[in-house]
């Protein structure tokens, strides 16, 4: 009782640690990077970091919604590989009849989008309608998509026709006003995602569902539809990320998109979204993605620490982020 | 009763940050005596109990154990001294068995191994003493609330408690279970245990307590033998004003107004069958029945919250089909859950998010209009007298009464014409109860139809114009006028001819 008087002034004077933490970490990384290498802040390097962040970033925005609504999706890396393989097969097959041109690129994009949405809906259907744990469902589909792409590639690599690849390349490498397409698409995804999460009914329903699904149900929130939509949206965004990814290498193999799911989930958690659901913020996820990319970039630019230790450093950061979250929760 | 106090507080104050919540509280627990600590939500009962049990340190003042000043640095030291506290929300490991819980942290051993035989024997003995029929190997998660309460008491017995502190032990118990609890309390009292308990049910306080201490706003406003204070006087002392007219006056005229809701042949598989009733405009319809009679399930089924079928449902004369909660809301029918913590409110969200969740479509098209939400919250705080320290605070930190008022404000956001409230005053203080009763009556007077489901007999009798009694998922009786009495309701709820002294829960 009278606990309403327990936290005088909290959250009024200074933003809490969970808000400040990721921002401070990002600033520290920027300072370290600048001190270690003069080229770090060059336009070329920043563009490179952002463009490489874009794939994980676009997926992580979708992942933010899934996790906020109390779900999880481990299948996104395999799903991206499978969609990439599917795109390449369809485009190669359509090449004799359609020829090189914008229509065949649009066909490939449509395949990616539709396949992404369907894959997301499948995950969502299994989780909501059949009521299977999200961890189990997506662990299963992760294996399925990975195996399918390996099978489609017959254990090797699926390559986009060389002519097609040359025609498609600008989607990754060109852009507007020197900003490449992946960065533009990433930025748009983030802006829309942030607005949807923090200002729309859907975002509020996601948070309510993740916070307590019984309360959400009794408050006329369609819990299953909300969850299903988050998975479908994530699938769509995996499709979009794949559209950006295929022109970069022009191929797909069993090793495409490996560990993307972990990077995406890590970025979401580092950004302050609560793993158990109920609260999420898209801008935080962006900071999480940037932190992970910058660590990678700094390790590559300097020879202080071997880039092979990248994974270890990321691991430490993820664990730290969760500890910070817990402290913030204990205080709040 | 007996001599010097076992445990006492002297001028204890407690502050959270700059806010002092206890202002010099003194009280005494004597061996072989039951002390009832009563007060409104937020009066400082829980804090007082936590200080007594060593959960929280006092800011100033003394805690005396057998006349010696003590400070408990940890909960463990309190337990070592023989002080056991039973929480309202229970302190049992859900995934362990009854036996494992009773001996948790103090398992009996023989050498390196657990002495299972002796623990089993003792567990059975303790459970027998509280007349609890559960098997020692049952997982606690499978127990009903009342069985959990009994297991907690068995656990206290196993610790040879000299002082037993119980936070609203009867809130989750049925009448029969309360009897068993009280028998056990008397037995412990006679064997010399000092007992402190809190309750919002003043009848129980009169029945079981030897002394009554009343807290109001963090100060002791009354302390004396229970026989010297009437229930009315207790209520007045708690609230600080006269609350003898707890229930608003019922409308006098018997003129039947038009039917707002007509239900025929409502079936909720496994819980209720063939329920039919009419709800008139401006009427408060009470629903009584034992726990498990299908009251809640029938109404949840009606509102599309769980699978149900009905031969016919009419709202305002038009037949309607309700298959999901949204359908009910579209027709102006809204259900307020009995479980505000698990089904009613998002405890880790703020007031604003909770208030508007059910009627979010009212606040902006695709995007939420935050300013409209803030205005709605201003209005709700004023209309429902919600007392929150800060607007941004987590709803889980509100007192029970304020949570209930917020929940009521939340369902009113969807502007229902027919409101079904389930246990609207469970676990909240008498002052807030009165506010809620007044509000419900005013809604009815304004032309709404209200259904009140309640386990509190007095509440049904005091509030309702007509009463439906459910028994085993079927409608046992519809009572009105002078037929609404404790006796008739009990007889219908239990089945005619049953022992009518049994309290309906």
Mean pLDDT of B220-234: 87
For every residue of B230-293, DSSP letters joined together read -HHHHHHHHHSS--S--SPPPP-------EEEEEEEEEETTTEEEEEEEEETT-EEEEEE-TTS
Contact between B23 and B219 under an 8 Å Cβ cutoff? The reply is yes
pLDDT winner (highest mean) among A49-58, A206-215, A229-238, B90-99: A229-238
> Would the CB atoms of A217 and B305 count as touching at under 8 Å?
yes
Look at phi and psi of residue B334 and say left if phi exceeds 0, alpha if psi is from -120 to 50, else beta.
beta
From the CA of B496, how many Å to the nearest CA of chain A?
A: 36
Q: Could you tell me how many CB contacts below 8 A there are between chain A and chain B?
A: 112
For every residue of A189-213, DSSP letters joined together read HHHHHHHHHHHBHHHHHHHHHHH-H
Task: Give contacts of A217 with chain B, Cβ < 8 Å.
Answer: 305, 325, 343
- Evaluate if residue A304 carries a pLDDT over 80: no
Mean pLDDT of B31-59: 85
Task: Give contacts of B41 with chain A, Cβ < 8 Å.
Answer: 1
- From CA A210, how far away is CA A199, in angstroms rounded? 17
- Evaluate if residue B482 carries a pLDDT over 90: no
pLDDT tens figures, B394-443:
888 888 888 999 999 999 998 999 999 999 988 788 888 888 999 999 99
- pLDDT band with cut points at 50, 70 and 90 for residue A66: very high
- Helix, strand, or coil (residue B381): helix
ipTM field: 0.81
Output the pLDDT for position B502.
39
Pick from A91-105, A133-147, B250-264, B473-487: least confident? B250-264
Output the pLDDT for position B504.
43
Contact between B26 and B11 under an 8 Å Cβ cutoff? The reply is yes
Q: Which of residues 186-205 of A touch B (CB under 8 A)?
A: 195, 199-201, 204-205
pLDDT tens figures, A248-267:
888 998 889 888 998 999 99
pLDDT tens figures, B152-170:
888 888 887 888 898 888 8
Pick from A82-86, A288-292, B229-233: least confident? B229-233
Task: Give contacts of A332 with chain B, Cβ < 8 Å.
Answer: 394
Output the pLDDT for position B3.
64
- From CA A180, how far away is CA A184, in angstroms rounded? 6
> Would the CB atoms of A221 and B357 count as touching at under 8 Å?
yes
Paired with B422 in beta bridges are B453
- From CA A283, how far away is CA A64, in angstroms rounded? 10
> Would the CB atoms of A1 and B41 count as touching at under 8 Å?
yes
- Evaluate if residue A330 carries a pLDDT over 70: no
- B363 → chain A, closest CA residue: A201
Which residue reads 């390196």 in tokens? B112
List the domains of chain B with CATH numbers. Answer: 5-242 (3.40.50.300), 246-332+417-498 (3.40.50.300), 334-415 (no CATH)
Q: For residue B44, give the nearest of A1, A211, A214 by CB distance.
A: A1
- Domain segments of chain A as ranges: 41-258+273-283
Q: Does B344 touch chain A if contact means CB atoms closer than 8 Å?
A: yes
| Residue environment code for B47-75, b if the CB has 16+ CB neighbours within 10 A, otherwise e | bbbbbbbbbbebeebebbbeeeeeebeee
């Amino acid at each position: 009782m009278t606990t309403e008087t327990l936290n005088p002034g909290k959250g009024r004077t200074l933003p809490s640690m969970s808000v400040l933490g990721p921002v401070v970490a990002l600033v520290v990384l920027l300072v370290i990077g600048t001190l270690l290498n003069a080229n770090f802040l060059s336009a070329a390097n920043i563009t490179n970091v952002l463009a490489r962040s874009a794939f994980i970033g676009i997926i992580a925005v979708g992942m933010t919604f899934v996790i906020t609504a109390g779900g999880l999706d481990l299948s996104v890396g395999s799903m991206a590989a499978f969609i990439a393989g599917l795109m390449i097969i369809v485009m190669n097959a359509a090449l004799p009849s359609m020829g090189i041109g914008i229509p065949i690129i649009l066909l490939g994009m449509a395949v990616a989008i539709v396949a992404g949405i369907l894959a997301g809906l499948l995950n969502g259907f299994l989780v909501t309608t059949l009521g299977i744990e999200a961890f189990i469902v997506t662990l299963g589909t992760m294996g399925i998509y990975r195996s399918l792409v390996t099978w489609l590639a017959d254990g090797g690599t699926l390559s986009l026709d060389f002519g097609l690849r040359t025609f498609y390349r600008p989607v990754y490498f060109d852009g507007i006003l020197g900003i490449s397409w992946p960065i533009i698409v990433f930025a748009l995804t983030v802006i829309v995602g942030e607005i949807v999460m923090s200002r729309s009914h859907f975002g509020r329903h996601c948070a309510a569902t993740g916070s307590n699904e019984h309360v959400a149900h009794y408050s006329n929130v369609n819990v299953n539809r909300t969850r299903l939509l988050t998975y479908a949206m994530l699938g769509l965004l995996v499709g979009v990320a794949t559209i950006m990814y295929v022109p970069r290498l022009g191929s797909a193999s069993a090793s495409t998109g490996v560990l993307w799911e972990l990077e995406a989930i890590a970025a979401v958690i580092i950004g302050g979204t609560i793993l158990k659901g109920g609260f999420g913020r898209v801008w935080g996820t962006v900071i999480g993605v940037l932190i992970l990319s910058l660590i990678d970039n700094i390790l590559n630019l300097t020879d202080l620490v071997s880039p092979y230790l990248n994974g270890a450093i990321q691991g430490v950061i993820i664990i730290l982020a969760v500890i910070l979250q817990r402290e913030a929760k204990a205080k709040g | 009763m007996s001599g010097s106090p076992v445990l006492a507080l002297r001028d204890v104050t407690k502050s959270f940050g700059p806010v002092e919540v206890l202002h010099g509280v003194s009280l005494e627990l004597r061996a072989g005596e039951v002390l009832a600590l009563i007060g409104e939500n937020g009066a400082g009962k829980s804090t007082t109990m936590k200080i007594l049990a060593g959960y929280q340190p006092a800011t100033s003042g003394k805690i005396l154990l057998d006349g010696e000043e003590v400070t408990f640095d940890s909960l463990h030291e309190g337990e070592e001294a023989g002080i056991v506290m039973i929480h309202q929300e229970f302190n049992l490991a859900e995934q362990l068995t009854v036996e494992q819980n009773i001996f948790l942290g103090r398992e009996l051993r023989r050498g390196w191994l657990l002495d299972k035989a002796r623990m089993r024997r003792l567990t059975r003995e303790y459970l027998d003493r509280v007349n609890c029929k559960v098997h020692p190997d049952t997982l606690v998660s499978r127990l009903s609330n009342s069985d959990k309460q009994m297991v907690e008491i068995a656990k206290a017995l196993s610790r040879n408690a000299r002082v037993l502190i119980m936070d609203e032990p009867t809130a989750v118990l049925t009448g029969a279970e309360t009897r068993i609890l009280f028998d056990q309390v008397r037995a412990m009292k006679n064997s010399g245990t000092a007992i402190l308990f809190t309750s919002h049910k003043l009848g129980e306080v009169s029945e079981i307590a030897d002394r009554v201490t009343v807290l109001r706003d963090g100060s002791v406003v009354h302390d004396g033998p229970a026989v010297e204070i009437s229930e009315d006087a207790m209520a007045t002392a708690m609230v600080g004003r006269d609350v003898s007219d707890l229930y608003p006056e019922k409308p006098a005229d018997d003129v039947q107004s038009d039917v707002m809701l007509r239900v025929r042949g409502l079936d909720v598989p496994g819980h209720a069958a063939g329920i039919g009733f009419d709800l008139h405009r401006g009427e408060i319809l009470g629903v009584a029945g034992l726990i498990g009679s299908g009251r809640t399930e029938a109404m949840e089924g009606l509102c599309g919250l769980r699978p149900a079928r009905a031969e016919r449902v009419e709202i305002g004369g038009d037949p309607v089909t309700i298959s999901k909660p949204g359908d009910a809301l579209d027709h102006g029918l809204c259900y307020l859950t009995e479980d505000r913590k698990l089904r009613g409110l998002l405890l880790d969200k703020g007031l604003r998010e909770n208030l508007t969740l059910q009627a979010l479509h009212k606040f902006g098209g695709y995007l939420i209009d935050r300013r409209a939400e803030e205005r709605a919250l201003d209005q709700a705080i004023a209309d429902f007298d919600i007392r929150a320290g800060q607007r941004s605070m987590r709803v889980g930190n509100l007192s029970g009464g304020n949570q209930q008022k917020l929940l009521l404000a939340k369902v009113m956001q969807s502007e229902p014409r027919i409101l079904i409230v389930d246990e609207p005053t469970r676990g909240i203080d008498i002052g807030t109860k009165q506010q809620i009763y007044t509000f419900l009556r005013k809604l009815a007077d304004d032309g709404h139809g209200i259904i009140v489901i309640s386990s509190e007999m007095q509440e049904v009798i005091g509030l309702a114009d007509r009463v439906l009694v459910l028994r085993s998922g079927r409608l046992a009786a519809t009572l009105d006028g002078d037929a609404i009495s404790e006796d008739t309701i009990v007889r219908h709820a239990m089945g005619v001819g049953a022992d009518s002294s049994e309290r309906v829960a």
